[in-house]
Amino acid sequence: MIEVQHLTKRYRDRVAVEDLTFQVEEGEILGFLGPNGAGKSTTMKILTGFLPPSEGTARVGGFDVFEQPLEVKRRIGYLPETPPLYPEMTVRGYLQFVGSLKGLPGRGLKAEVERVAGLTGVTHVMDRVIQNLSKGYKQRVGIAQALLGSPPVLILDEPTEGLDPTQRAEVRALIKSLAGKHTVILSTHILPEVTVTCEKVLIINQGKIVAYDEIRKLAHLHGQAENVSLEEIFIKLTAA
Ligand SMILES: Nc1ncnc2c1ncn2[C@@H]1O[C@H](COP(=O)(O)OP(=O)(O)OP(=O)(O)O)[C@@H](O)[C@H]1O
């Protein structure tokens, strides 16, 4: 569903990501990890058509992200690092607005807004103005807009950032429930979250892939039998 080949992105003379090659199969949730500044957001911005690559290609559902950006955007729900919210709108107004931008038909739009609100637990704040919501609720609204229209691919940049432990567990369960129906790239710094949500991880460090495998195989490779500590593996691989 997502195919990345030899992807490189330079910002002037700074190489943000270098020669990334990976793929995400349909229905898979890929954990996308790396220390601050490793190049995760850059990669996600390229996959969602917000940034052009310097070299290499990326395809989503068979469409090139650079050459056929509209086809790609139609298939992707994206939660950027900072959710794209309009603070002066109500939650309902905002979700209806985003739904209409996504081209959801008027008849189904209301029901679709209610559906994603239910999934993300924002039904009871639908008439509140976004700027008055807590950080966690703003984050939920950000996730809700990504789910509108049930796109086959979801790209989530730190979706549980700012949530309290209960909300985090709820969002984690929600993401897990999307497996099979959606192909997901999940970037997060909360490693136990990845262990329970994803089968496979991609770890990048200084723009380069340092691990790309199933978690249990990585654990085996690093001499862990039970109680996988992704944290230990992450620290080891990103120490350089
Ligand atoms: N617009 C830009 N212009 C110049 N350099 C940039 C730009 N955006 C990102 N970078 C640099 O590219 C590198 C990768 O940044 P990126 O934001 O992709 O990392 P990240 O893995 O998402 O980090 P974090 O976990 O902190 O969000 C960093 O060195 C960053 O400073």
Q: Rounded mean pLDDT of 136-154? A: 92
| Residue nearest ligand 1's atom 14 by CA | 39
Q: How close is the Cα of 28 to the center of ligand 1, in Å?
A: 26
Q: How close is the Cα of 220 to the center of ligand 1, in Å?
A: 31
Q: What structural domains and CATH numbers belong to the chain?
A: 2-83+153-237 (3.40.50.300)
The model's pTM is 0.89
**Residue 240: its pLDDT value, please?**
64
Q: Model confidence over 1-23: pLDDT tens digits? A: 999 999 999 999 899 999 999 99
Q: Model confidence over 70-128: pLDDT tens digits? A: 889 889 999 988 888 889 999 999 999 999 988 888 788 999 999 999 988 899 999 99
For residue 1, the tally of other CB atoms under 10 A from its CB is: 18
The mean pLDDT of the chain is 90
Give the span between the Cα atoms of 23 and 15, in whole angstroms. Answer: 21
Of 24-33, 74-83, 160-169, 178-187, which one has max mean pLDDT?
Answer: 24-33
Q: Is 42 in the pocket of ligand 1 (CB under 6 A)?
A: yes
Q: Is 86 in the pocket of ligand 1 (CB under 6 A)?
A: no
DSSP H/E element including 87: none
Edge-to-edge strand list for the sheet holding 2-11: 14-24, 2-11, 55-60, 63-64
**Residue 62: its pLDDT value, please?**
93
Q: Model confidence over 26-54: pLDDT tens digits? A: 999 999 999 999 999 999 999 998 899 99
DSSP H/E element including 94: helix 91-101
| Residue nearest ligand 1's atom 11 by CA | 16
